[in-house]
Amino acid sequence: MPGGVAQKRETDREPDVVAMPEADADQDAADQQVAVRESHEAIGREEVPDEGREESPDVDEAAVSAEDEAASKLQHDLTIEMGGGSHTVTKKDTLWEISEATYGHGKYWKKIRSANPGKVSARRNGHRDLIHTGDELALPLVKVGPRDAFEAMVVNDPALREFADQFAMNDEQLMGMLQQARSTGMTYAQMIDAQRQFYEAQAAERGISAGEYIAEMHGSIGGGTNAGKSTKWAEEVENGREAAWQARFEAAEEKVRTQSRPDVRQAIEEATANGGVFKWNPSKLDALGVVAMGSNWNITVGMDWVEAAEDDVDRVAASVMHEMFGHGAYGAVRAMFVANESFAQLDPEEQAKANPALVSLTFGYWESEIFAELIEFGHDRVDNPTDHAFGVNPSGEDMSDGKTQTHDVRKQLQEAKAGVAPTLLPGLLQGLWRRIQNEERIQDEARAMFLRDVREVLGDVL
């Protein structure tokens, strides 16, 4: 077993999943890049209205099909279906070894024997495990644990081990990653190559280069705004209020830790156990104009978050669950990894045309973001200072009254459709879906609405 495939969730195993540009230069670059894009051409396989921006469909948010509703139940299943196909026996083959190569462990050899009556003979000692050179053995589909599946899959896909070593994974995370590999039917190298070809094909359709295409997409999807200098925090500093704000932050953190709903407190405890902390960075968040950011199991907050928490801890529950728990629990984001690696395959001069800091945010962030939004859904309320997963929350409140964006899940799916190779996307989604199915903090209602949105945006891919 590779050392990186840890048995528990670990911290610091992943780049900043929020991947907000750290420097103003990145923001400026994104702003400059957005100016390039005027085309309203479709991105991806089908027309995406107005540069990927969602039209305003009249969706009955509560309406999901009976099929989606039935499929939305929590399912704690940490197995991957391995096998299928056949194996032609060669000299020196044993059932144990065939099982090891197919399912990651020799202990499944009897499954092969059962699937091949008449092709496995008894030895003189009575053990019925003798196979014959030249025979074609059927390899049945067997549900195996993620660690066995990993060992089987890494034989043909060594980059899986690199990924696992880089981002030590728990069983949930490993299962999701393997499901993605299994569903795409590609090795890592093939996935990265497919995404690179996608960049190039999209660029060719537009008559531009791959680097230029990526830069355009930064502006369309990934680029943040240049919110300008940090005036509010600067004024607070000039007023000599830094210490007072620090105290308010600490009090707000304590209030959230102790007065939030039990499930939020429990999630905070889990994040804390994984090394997550509340970070106070008002200068950065004020400059960006965001309420909170997340990385690993951490949540970074600014003045607006503190004021909302002071007002009512439930107002920040969604942000805590989203940033601290949602992204933290999801762990390494395979789509981001593929995006970055495929970008790195481009010629250096093409890479220089885009902003490397925005590549994963633009083309891969949707995967973790959807998971985080679904986690957040159970805590969403109309005065949540940030956006909303769907048009309603579990209480049936109309989130459009909150004067912030609704349907973020749908937006993420549209971004995925626009920026991910069609050969990859269904498989990546299936891995994400396994994670969603297994996560007890995601409500069935959210799962059902996610399925509905997937059908509407991408068709029958799950």
Partner 1 sequence: MFSDRRWSSACSLACALLLVACGRPSKPSDRNPPPTSSIADAGATPADAVAVAIADARPYVRDEEAWDYLATFSDEHLRGTARAEKWLLAHPDRARPELLRCVGQTWWNQITSHAYRLLGVIGHEDDVPVLRAVLMSGAEREAHYAAMALASMPHESAFEALEEGVGSPEPEVTGTSIFALGERGDERARKTIERRLADDLISVRRQAIYALSKLGVEPSRALLEQRVRVETDTGVLGVLAEVLGAAGSP
Asked if 384 interacts with partner 1 (CB under 8 A), we say yes
What pairs with residue 300 in β-bridges? 279, 293
Residues between 234 and 263 that touch partner 1 (CB under 8 A): 235, 238-240
Distance CA 319, CA 325 (A): 9
Residue 20 interacting with partner 1 (CB under 8 A): yes
N-terminal to C-terminal alpha carbon distance within the chain: 31
- Cβ contacts of residue 354 below 8 Å, gap of 6+? 33, 211, 212, 214, 215, 218, 343
Q: Per rule CB under 8 A, is residue 212 in the interface with partner 1?
A: no
314 binding partner 1? (CB under 8 A): no
Q: Which of 231, 246, 258, 259 binds partner 1 (CB under 8 A)?
A: 231
Query: At closest approach, how far in Å is the CB of 427 from partner 1?
Result: 23
Contact status: 223 vs partner 1 (CB under 8 A):
yes
Does 380 interact with partner 1 (rule: CB under 8 A)?
Answer: no
Cα separation, 417 vs 175, in Å, equals: 23
Beta carbons within 8 Å of 72's beta carbon, 6+ residues apart = 64, 444, 445, 447, 448, 451
State which of residues 44, 146, 176, 219 lies at the interface with partner 1 (CB under 8 A).
Answer: 219
Residues present in the chain in total:
462
Nearer to partner 1, 66 or 243 (CB): 243
- The single residue among 116, 195, 295, 319 that binds partner 1, judged by CB under 8 A, is 319
128: its two tokens: 């019925």
Residue 361 found at the interface with partner 1 (CB under 8 A): yes
Task: Name the one residue in this structure whose structure tokens are 């795409």.
Answer: 184
Interacting span for partner 1 (CB under 8 A) from 5-13, 175-183, 338-346, 379-387: 379-387
Query: Do residues 314 and 261 make contact, with C-beta atoms less than 8 angstroms apart?
Result: yes
Among 385, 391, 394, 422, binds partner 1 (CB under 8 A): 385
- Shortest separation between residue 325's beta carbon and partner 1, angstroms: 14
Q: Select from 6, 9, 10, 18 the one that contacts partner 1 (CB under 8 A).
A: 18
Site for partner 1 in 57-116 (CB under 8 A): none
Pairing of strands 298-301, 278-280: parallel
Nearer Cβ to partner 1 (18/177):
18
- Closer to partner 1 by CB, 231 or 266: give it: 231
- The residue among 4 and 391 lying less far from partner 1, judged by its C-beta, is 391
**Of residues 256, 291, 316, 454, which one binds partner 1 by CB under 8 A?**
291
Query: Mutual orientation of helices 425-438 and 171-184 as an angle, nearest 10°?
Result: 150
State which residue, 102 or 296, has the beta carbon closest to partner 1. Answer: 296
Q: How far is the CB of 241 from partner 1 (least distance, A)?
A: 8
Nearer to partner 1, 142 or 217 (CB): 217
378 binds partner 1 (CB under 8 A): no
Token pair in block for residue 41 = 């051409």
Interface residue list for partner 1 (CB under 8 A): 18-20, 30-31, 33-35, 37, 51-54, 56, 218-228, 231-232, 235, 238-240, 288-294, 303-304, 307-308, 319, 322-323, 361-362, 365, 369, 383-387, 400-406, 408, 415
